[in-house]
Structure 1
């Protein structure tokens, strides 16, 4: 019988319910798996929308998918990491479909099952509650809202031990998504005119990445002035409060006809329309904001077709995490990617306050510190 390790975890038991800190247990790693002692974990928009069942992830379960920690144990066959390594946990992918094999694991053909299935592919889970009942886990291949997480060799990324481990978890999803959308997916070049709709953690990461890429016009759009003010310190050349001005008209004015690239990070269909309309000739709009499944949006077909505009879906920045996350760590350590300015730390048992602060806009990127 597999030995079970005692842990604490934040459990969601039903749609829209508060996270409950519970005693639980976790098993030992199977072949290819990596048991990680979680040091800290970011709170992401996707955790919140899954709690609210925008995506049909089975409950009760343990969410969390921006974990950072220390490898505790590895299963048979694992060669990429060993106990004691510092790691960031990221999304899971199958590793053998066409997109994975061609360097696009974020568009894995099995992405939904791998990340939202609620357990291993065989239906088993690694985690049980205090009464011995199975809890759905393996959320994004990790379920890191707990003191330990069961990940896989494919979705653990080794990072330098001199980097601040408790800060690094959000590189596994939100920060990677915004920065990767600019640097990996859309490949924004030097001299480009770029605008981001939504200045949360994803949008502001895109602003910093656009500055690294050498974009000469970087426009942040949001309804919260404090976030726009921060965007200007992180590299934005212009900020538009869309409660006070028409962002499409202002972007066309600032750019002299429209942006080369826009990024929609709010998940609101009406904002996506603005991001498409704000493009210039042959401009590209990237979509990273996640609404409820089944959400539809509209646009003027001729005003996309005739100017040759492109609309691009982007997941996780289209990044290869084992390559891209260490690059982001290097950029941070060099002072060129100061994503720490987006962060506020909370104790693990303050998870519901952290979520509420994220939903209200008080905190851009909450990070929970695990005890011990």
Structure 2
């Protein structure tokens, strides 16, 4: 690398990490000030609070990774432009594409970091963060679906529970239907189903099994019956943040299994999966937009560039949130919901880059 590359790359990485170091303590302080009452009320051990805020640091950094990067690039590039350094670089015969090269190298480094965070560290941090939140801060908030649970547990069997208490591991109005070649072979129903942890069995109360015959059906009644089923309680009612706490490979397998079971939360799970790849791409797109916007020396100075950058960042967040909610609450494709903001801002980046070169 030449002196220009090192100069810009060091400023790129230094400003980004300084932005993280400045804003993360602010985020921790605001979060602690908001929740200090509940922490003291529940007498949370200091060790768990420290671990929680370590997880919060990773969770917070990953969540706002693109925005921190975008604002840091605008900040230091605006300083270069304000000090007439960009004009000096370009006047020396350096093309704008050549000027952009260290930014792309910096985006590759930070994009790789974002990919590593999303694949491995963020799921671990998210697990600790969410478990702490639901244990100490929101103990009465539901962590699972507990009404009208319908699941396909294998190729031939479907189960339904009208309500399920995850704490007692007990469900009401349980039914299991076994279907082969689109024909019902037998149906099991019970007033309640309860998981017995020590035996890893399920206890059915008011058990009824109806076997469909050619001429007549066979009925079996039992007051109480302990039996085995090919599913776990966690499979029956996974926690609502399950997708956030699984590494990429496990999440892919989980989604595949949930699709076979007919889960209604596939859109939510796929959003988390696709964002692990879209976030590193966003790093490149936002870097190009930031350079194109802030490399021009404006009459209003750095403030104008920062104002433009903040507006663009807010629009990006708006698009991301709107399409994310749309995919979660409807049949809108998750892939499009995740990648549409990148496509729109990729076009914007191309347009701004062409104008900046001119």
Q: Which has the higher strand share?
A: 1
- Per the normalisation by structure 1, the TM-score is 0.23
The structure whose RCO (Cα within 8 Å, separation 6+) is larger is 2
Larger radius of gyration: 2
- Per the normalisation by structure 2, the TM-score is 0.24
